[in-house]
A and B are shown apart, each in its own frame.
Chain A
Amino acid sequence: MIGFILRKIGLVIPAFIGVTLLTFALIHMIPGDPVELLAGERGIDPTRHAELKALLGLDKPLWEQYALYLYHAIQGDLGLSIVTKKPVIEEFLTLFPATIELALCAMSFAVIIGLPAGIWAAVKRGTAVDHSVMAVSLTGYSMPIFWWGLLLIILCSVTLGITPVSGRLSAEYWIEPTTGFMLIDSLLSDEQGAFADALHHLVLPSVVLGTIPLAVIARMTRSSMLEVLREDYVRTARAKGLSPLRVIGVHALRNALIPVITVIGLQLGTMLAGAILTETIFSWPGIGRWLIQSIGRRDYPSVQGGILLVATVIITVNLLVDVLYGIINPRIRHTR
């Protein structure tokens, strides 16, 4: 088991190095001089220019700059944001809970709808139910989610007026962030109705972000269930006279879930990237929107640090999924 985990970690290290190379290249491939970029429009005199260049380590050879960058990055030092002058890692950490909260709610939505839909389609294979579940999930899979979000805003917020258009909380509430998760913070605070308000704000973004994972989970559950339903032990369970519900829910589902769990984990990583679009539409104050704003403001240290951090989180999540997969399915540990 430990060998298996170490082998998986060994596979992750090159990926991490690749990401640092990419973000390192980011700063060096931007057209123009980073020092002048920092100085802004007022310009800078030559001595100060040389000083700053030395301070930023830009006068050293490239490999040394990279080594330094890596050294600082591992310690969590990703430089200062040009716009706010605060450490990039600090900005990231204050915004990250908002994104996690959104991603978890979206994933719950996707699993709660997608899993039963997939099972239902597999059990009713070849019927109208199966075909419609598959048609809907293919549509969801092809959905440009930024447009889907706008449509839902038009329908639910503008026409029906049942959900708020943007943000995490209405302006009349003020919640001091303690955990950073609005649902928990609003419960802990003594503001009346803040929790319900936060929940209202979460609904549309979660549905939008959860749509593609929902489609993927439904498809995966269906095909995995179909495979399992053909197995001998399912036939045995049926022949024993167990109720259909028990055969499907206990005997078949437990085995069909293994690949589905992997897909759920991998979708969680993709979701962090999908959050970029969702957060932009709903003005959700998370890392996705921050990343896009930083690109717009040419705040390169934030862009560089943000991409590195998001990619690191995703690689870590995928690693955990891989390890978890090895735990629930011991066969995988012994292949290769």
Chain B
Amino acid sequence: MAGLLAIIVIVLAAVLADVVAPYAPDEQIRTALLVPPFWAGGTGSYIFGTDDIGRDIFSRIVHGARLSLFVGLLVVTISLAAGIFLGLLAGFFRGWVDVAIMRAMDIMLAIPSLLLAIAIVAILGPSLTNAILAIAIVILPHYVRLTRAAVITEAGKDYVMASRVAGASKMRLMFDTILPNCWAPLIVQATLGFSTAILDAAALGFLGLGAQPPTPEWGSMLADALQFVQRAWWVVTFPGLAILVTVLAFNLMGDGLRDALDPKMKR
């Protein structure tokens, strides 16, 4: 519940970024370099302080929320769509299609996600688009496995047989009859996918392999702040806090959804 509330706040902030943020994310206020937050000796006009070239940190974080949620949405959509498609194929047709798809997924699962993402970005070149693509590829196997497992369970049930006997085509069986009954675990995984996507995108941004400056992306903001660790704690603290809160919110919501949609899993 707390997770859902936090997500609503973050989504609102992201959607209304232009209204909520007092400044543009790349607006440089030359008279206010490295101003501390208002409770630490700064002024009320920059509540989280400013960075080394006078950009308002609060505004950048609010705009970063828009970017991070967009990254999460895009990653989850891409890998969910591809994952459902591959999982349906594997679970419905079985045989060599199944073996080929699942072996490929096993290989991808054998490599840690961040390393695989780095390898893909190294091939495609560092940019936000490529980072999104890389993360989408990296989390794909989870959706394929879940869909396949659910499809195999459902495909043996009587209602599917009834539909088959009634003469439903393969496409209709796959997408219209079976798929709607496989949603529950996928929704949970998609929520958790959001948090993975946001975390990995920030990590890639931090390593300089994702969003490039001056994009107000939380990870690349942290990379910029690296040199001010000793002098200006606020430049470092807030972007990271934003990542933590967002990721935590999605993880909490994922846990909550799992309990709600899949009571068998609840302990």
Contact = CB atoms under 8 A, between A and B. Distances in A.
Interface in B226-260: 226, 229-230, 233, 236-237, 239-241, 243-244, 247-248, 251-252, 255
Interface in A8-55: 11-12, 14-15, 17-19, 22-23, 25-26, 29-31
A144 interface: yes
A237 interface: no
Interface stretch (A87-95, A169-177, A253-261, A310-318): A310-318
Interface stretch (A76-84, A107-115, A149-157, A241-249): A149-157
A18 B255 CA distance: 33
A11 B251 contact: no
Contacts, number: 127
Given A139-B248, A141-B251, A147 B112 contact: no
Contacts of B107: 14-15, 17-19
B240 A150 contact: yes
B199 to A, nearest CB: 6
B115 interface: yes
Nearest to B240: A147
B264 interface: no
Contacts of A189: none
A269 interface: yes
A22 to B, nearest CB: 6
B229 A158 contact: yes
Interface stretch (A59-67, A178-186, A191-199, A273-281): A273-281
B106 A144 contact: no
Contacts of B251: 138, 141-142
Contact of B123 (A17, A30, A311): A30
Interface residues of A, number: 49
Interface in A256-310: 269-270, 272-274, 276-277, 280, 291-292, 295-296, 303, 307, 310
Contact of B112 (A22, A26, A272, A303): A272
B224 to A, nearest CB: 12
B110 A139 contact: no
B90 interface: no
Binding site secondary structure of chain B? helix
Interface residues of B, number: 45
Contacts of A4: none
B207 interface: yes
Contact of B236 (A15, A19, A147, A314): A147
Interface string B165-183: 0000000000000000000
A14 B112 contact: no
B33 interface: no
Residue of A226, A295, A315 contacting most chain B CB atoms (<10 Å): A295
B112 A23 contact: no
Interface of A: 11-12, 14-15, 17-19, 22-23, 25-26, 29-31, 138-139, 141-144, 146-148, 150-151, 153-154, 158, 223, 226, 269-270, 272-274, 276-277, 280, 291-292, 295-296, 303, 307, 310-311, 314-315, 318
Given A18-B104, A19-B107, A276-B115, 4 more contacts: A19-B111, A30-B123, A144-B244, A151-B237
13 contacts: A14-B103, A18-B104, A18-B107, A30-B123, A31-B125, A138-B248, A138-B255, A142-B195, A144-B219, A150-B240, A272-B112, A292-B207, A296-B208
